[in-house]
Amino acid sequence: MARVVRVIDGDTIVVDRGRGGERLRYIGMDTPETVKPGSPVEWMGRESADANRALVEGATVVLEKDVSETDQYGRLLRHVWLHDGATWRLVDLELVRDGYARVSTYPPDVKYVDLYLAAQVDAREHDRGLWGAGPITFLSPVDGATVTTKTVVVRGTAPAGSRVVRDISNAPDQSTRVASDGSWSLEVKLRSGRNSLRFRVDNEKATTRTLQVIYAP
């Protein structure tokens, strides 16, 4: 048993087992960053932290060890359970099922990996959280537009301070930093015919959106 002293972000908390505060990292899942030094708050990061806070802040929880005691940063590695009458709730699993976290496992700590993967499939099929529409919008050109110039400037919106990345197959990615007003733009060279331009926020593949542009010189 332990008391949750503080919620740091979506996958890390501080608990007190009677020996003072200890940092604890949930096992089997990962949430977007909100407190990583030198990095912007990632999409859905605040929502993930808020969801975790709503579940466990100030609560008494049961900690279940898998195999490892701590991670490389000295944080406890545990599955975290809430007990409500006759009901047991696995916090890690609920965050995955609600789309606030994605499955991320490191053997040998894989006890509940099948449950997590099934929950992630459910979240994706129902477009919850990280698997929803995503934070990127396109302003110009419009999806499906036909252009007559080989080079176009793609403009859109995304979370301020984040990085919009154009995912290019078999070539280095392009990227740009989003301005404080949420605007971004990238100059793109097209090939003749239909172009499927893929963009994401930072390394969050779940945010990927595709813009179709037809180049007809």
What confidence score (pLDDT) does residue 51 get?
Answer: 97
Quick one: which of 159, 151, 133, 68 has its CA closest to 107? 68
What number of other Cβ atoms are within 10 A of residue 36's Cβ? 12
78: Cα separation from own chain's centroid: 20
Q: Classify domain 2-131 by CATH architecture.
A: Beta Barrel (2.40)
As a whole number of angstroms, the distance between CA 91 and CA 26 comes to 9
| pLDDT tens, position by position, 63-76 | 999 999 999 999 99
Cα dist. 196→9, 34, 208 in Å? 35, 31, 12
What confidence score (pLDDT) does residue 85 get?
Answer: 80
- With a CB cutoff of 8 Å and minimum separation 6, the contacts of 159 are 40, 41, 43, 135, 178, 182, 201
**Mean pLDDT, range 47-65, rounded to an integer:** 96
* Residues acting as catalytic residues: 25, 33, 75
What confidence score (pLDDT) does residue 200 get?
Answer: 92
> Based on the number of CB atoms within 10 Å of its own CB, is 122 exposed (0-12), middle (13-18) or buried (19 or more)?
middle
Domain boundary assignment for the chain: 2-131, 137-215
What confidence score (pLDDT) does residue 86 get?
Answer: 85
As a whole number of angstroms, the distance between CA 86 and CA 97 comes to 21
| pLDDT tens, position by position, 175-201 | 999 999 999 999 999 999 999 999 999
**The CATH number, out of the four listed (3.20.20.70, 3.90.226.10, 2.60.40.10, 3.40.50.2300), of the domain defined by the range 137-215:** 2.60.40.10
> Mean pLDDT over all residues of the chain?
93
pTM of the model: 0.73
Which stretch, 121-125, 150-154, 205-209, has highest mean pLDDT? 150-154
What number of other Cβ atoms are within 10 A of residue 69's Cβ? 10
As a whole number of angstroms, the distance between CA 156 and CA 162 comes to 13
Cα dist. 214→36, 151, 173, 192, 208 in Å? 40, 12, 21, 7, 20
What confidence score (pLDDT) does residue 78 get?
Answer: 98
